[in-house]
Amino acid sequence: MRDKILYVLGALAILILARDLYVIAGLPQEAAQGAIFKIIFFHVPAAWTAIVAAITALTMSVQFLRTKDFKYDAAAVAVTEVGLAFLAANLVTGSIWARVIWGIWWTWDVRLTSALVCWLLYAGYLMLRHAIEEPTQRATFAAVFSILAFLDVPIVYFSIRWFRTQHPAPVFLSSNGSFPADWTRVLLSNWLGLLLLAIVMTAIRLRQEESQREIDSLRRAAHAM
Amino acid sequence: MHLLAQTLLVAQASPEDIMQELARLQRNFHFLSYGFAAAWIILTLYVLMLVGRERKLKRQITNLKAMLEERQKMT
């Protein structure tokens, strides 16, 4: 049953994203930037998906520290790994856009740097988990690290409001925003597609954590024999 | 009005200007396709990584269960 739901969600995500790709191709080019502007339809939803993943990881980590229930630890690692993939997609698409508009692949701007630091912190979280053998100690240290890593997320989000950055000013949820309503609909639809994809990926990754726990208990049983 | 303005602009532009603008638009479009391709490649690679890990875990579970059954038979 669970597998069927995942297949349906995955297929739905692919359908939405394929349809959106067709819609995006038909949209007019932005006056100043031209076709490359359309990268926003992937760049921004990927960032929002990564933020949702980071908030979920924070919640799961706090829940683990509160309850010591390993299902929260499994959820935290699953959602962090998926969020990392989406943040990587966000950073790469942003860099490609920058090459055309700014003439450079990268600049040490507050938004870009804080996003890269965020990626490195969550990659560090996954590395930390590999470095600790004992499950309770691993889950506790990882939960604390995840909470600390989350401190960077508001900096990434608000950096374009707090500082004068080379990165464009916010066009959504802002008084200066001038994103047309029909474009916003496409962007939100693409976000829904990516979010569904992230949910499917997280559910698969979560199942793998359950399998890993089963392997650990089978190994313990084999040692005890 | 918009069409008239564009026609007047094109009439003033030299052939070099038009070629340059066409090249810019082409480059812009190429980079857009690289961007979408890169994003999809990252997500596809992650999915492939998940599939590979899933297979490895299933194989490990099967092997461990077989080993435990064998040991139980021996005892």
Q: Can you tell me the ipTM of this complex?
A: 0.88
Query: Which of B6, B29, B50, B58 to mutate: most A Cβ within 10 Å?
Result: B50
Please state at what angle helix A40-67 crosses helix A110-131, rounded to 10 degrees: 40
CB A203 within 8 A of CB B54: no
Across the interface, do B38 and A92 touch by the CB < 8 Å criterion? yes
Residue A181 binned pLDDT confidence (cut-offs 50, 70, 90): confident
* Listed range (A1-10, A51-60, A174-183) with the worst mean pLDDT: A174-183
Average pLDDT in the A18-41 region? 88
| Residue A122 predicted with pLDDT over 70 | yes
Widest pairwise Cα distance in chain B: 94
SS3 string, chain B, reads CHHHHHHHHHHHCCHHHHHHHHHHHHHHHHHHHHHHHHHHHHHHHHHHHHHHHHHHHHHHHHHHHHHHHHHHHHC
Residue A173 has a pLDDT of 64
Residue-level pLDDT at A177: 63
pLDDT attached to residue B21: 82
Substitution target in B26, B28, B32 with the highest count of A β-carbons within 10 Å is: B32
- What per-residue confidence (pLDDT) applies to A223? 81
Residue B58 to residue A100, Cβ atoms within 8 A: no
Whether the pLDDT of residue B28 is over 90: the answer is no
**Per-residue model confidence as pLDDT tens digits over A146-176:** 999 999 999 999 999 898 888 888 777 666 6
Q: How far apart are CA A107 and CA A100, in angstroms?
A: 13
Cβ-Cβ contacts under 8 Å between A and B: the total is 88
Tell me the sheet residues that pair with A30.
Answer: A34
- A214 part of contact set with chain B, CB < 8 Å: yes
